Amino acid sequence: MRHAFRVGLMLSVAVAIAPACTSLLGDFAVGEGDGASSSGGSSGGSSGCEAGLADCDGDGECETPVDADPLNCGACGAVCLDGGMCRDGSCSGITEIARGYPTPDDANGKHLFIYDDEVYWTAGEGVNGSVQKVPARGGPVTLLADGQNAPYGIAVNRHGVFWANLNAKNIMWVDREGEEDPKEIFDSSFATLGVAADDREVFWAQRSAGIGMPGRGSLIGQITMPDGWPDDRFHEDERASPHLIVLDEEFVYWVDRSARGTVNRTRRSNGQTDRLADNQSFPYAIAVDDAFVYWTNSPRSGNAGEAEAAVMRARKDRSGEPEALWTPDDDDVAHPSPDCIAVDDAEDGFVYWTDQGTPRVLRKRKDGSGRQQVLHEGGSPRGIALHGGFVFWVEEQGSGGVRKRPL
């Protein structure tokens, strides 16, 4: 079923403010009051305070030294983990900028997206799922949507926040401030998964059946901006099980998570699709830079196991063969399971990924040279992104939350 989604009209109409919400972030309450969040006063902002100080307990006094306090490092509620020091408003190691929101039971993070110095993420396994955001430096959390049914892929552009509800089988929208009610912009008969966006278009991936099962209804869908007309016939593929997706100026890149997985690109102008890699083991996530496409292969339960795990790349111009940048042979851990992936822009830069099997956050040179570097070990890291000299990731289990560390 298709819906006309007129972004320009929706953004000009005032609607009811989102319900009040509360979350403990650090040692202060976030988002108390009539709105979804607040950047000052009782929610721990620094409005009216001298540089380096903030009112993090809402008593009207600027007594918190955010340039040196490891519980409020750089912003209220930004916590330096593992005994890290706070100097000049930056933690020496890992910083946790959000956690346990809106409730610990529904805090399971999935995927995240960074736009305009704000981190957006999806969380929750069932009908109490949520979509949230937090400033990249830390601070008040904004609850953009609650009561979502297994929110999964997420993307943001100047028109708003878009995400897929895996179990509800739809694509949703809300404005970036959470001032309007979330709206369904496409409902499907099949599971919706990855979402990617720029200011021109939004794309989503959809599979027809269970994990890795091809069939009629599997597709890459397109939503044009700003009118927002969904097109579920943009690229249909009965032989594939599309999962996560990413964009560049010309193409949508996506992984097929079926038994004989593939990596593909679909031209945005006409839906024509090319194969970049065949016979991949259960590919999960995908990223691109100017010259290459990168992806993770995860072990499939009940199959050969960790030997299938890999971090891969192939040339965008389809020359040469796909190559493994990392495999279990490069490591000394049991049961690795590469998950989400990100890549920096530098020609001699790094590819970053989360590994839920070990669990770790890692990086390695994009050309595969040298050893992998472990940036963090522990927790349950999943979605990953790069921004402003930091790597960010979302925690899937436990209290959930968003963490970062310098590159």
Report which of residues 357 and 38 the model is more confident about: 357
- Write out the residue limits of the CATH 2.120.10.30 domain(s) in the chain: 99-406
pLDDT at residue 8 greater than cutoff 90:
no
Q: What tens digit of pLDDT does each residue of 269-284 get?
A: 999 999 999 999 899 9
pLDDT-derived band at 4, boundaries 50, 70, 90: low
Mean of all residue pLDDT scores within the chain = 87
pLDDT at residue number 105 = 67
Report which of residues 321 and 19 the model is more confident about: 321
pLDDT at residue 60 greater than cutoff 80:
yes
Among 20-29, 109-118, 384-393, the least confident range: 20-29
Q: What tens digit of pLDDT does each residue of 174-193 get?
A: 999 999 999 999 999 999 99
pLDDT at residue 12 greater than cutoff 50:
no
Report which of residues 7 and 364 the model is more confident about: 364
pLDDT-derived band at 5, boundaries 50, 70, 90: low
pLDDT at residue number 10 = 44
Residue 1, CA distances (Å) to 91, 243, 291 in order? 48, 20, 37
Among 38-47, 282-291, 375-384, the least confident range: 38-47
Among 41-45, 77-81, 248-252, 360-364, the least confident range: 41-45
pLDDT at residue number 48 = 83
β-pair type (53-54, 64-65): antiparallel
pLDDT at residue number 400 = 81
The answer to pTM > 0.85 is yes
Q: What tens digit of pLDDT does each residue of 83-100 get?
A: 999 999 999 999 999 987
Give me the CATH topology for the region 99-406.
Neuraminidase (2.120.10)
Q: What tens digit of pLDDT does each residue of 125-161 get?
A: 889 999 999 999 999 999 999 999 999 999 999 999 9
Report which of residues 385 and 48 the model is more confident about: 385
On whether the CB atoms of residues 355 and 373 are closer than 8 A, the answer is no
Q: How much is the average pLDDT of 278-303?
A: 89
β-pair type (390-395, 273-280): unpaired
Among 89-93, 319-323, 332-336, 341-345, the least confident range: 332-336
For residue 151, the SS3 value is strand
pLDDT at residue number 6 = 58
Among 35-44, 155-164, 307-316, the least confident range: 35-44
As a dihedral over the C-alpha atoms of residue 31, residue 35, residue 36, residue 37, rounded to 10 degrees, the angle is -40
pLDDT at residue number 372 = 96
pLDDT-derived band at 246, boundaries 50, 70, 90: very high
Of the chain, the percentage scoring pLDDT greater than 90 comes to 74
Beta bridge partners, 91, equal: 86
Please state the separation of Cα 7 from the chain's center in Å: 23
**CA-closest candidate to residue 401, choices 127, 66, 79:** 79
**Residue 391: which region, alpha, beta or left (left: phi > 0; alpha: psi -120 to 50)?**
beta
On whether the CB atoms of residues 220 and 254 are closer than 8 A, the answer is yes
pLDDT at residue number 228 = 85
Q: What tens digit of pLDDT does each residue of 372-407 get?
A: 999 999 999 999 999 999 999 999 987 788 999 999
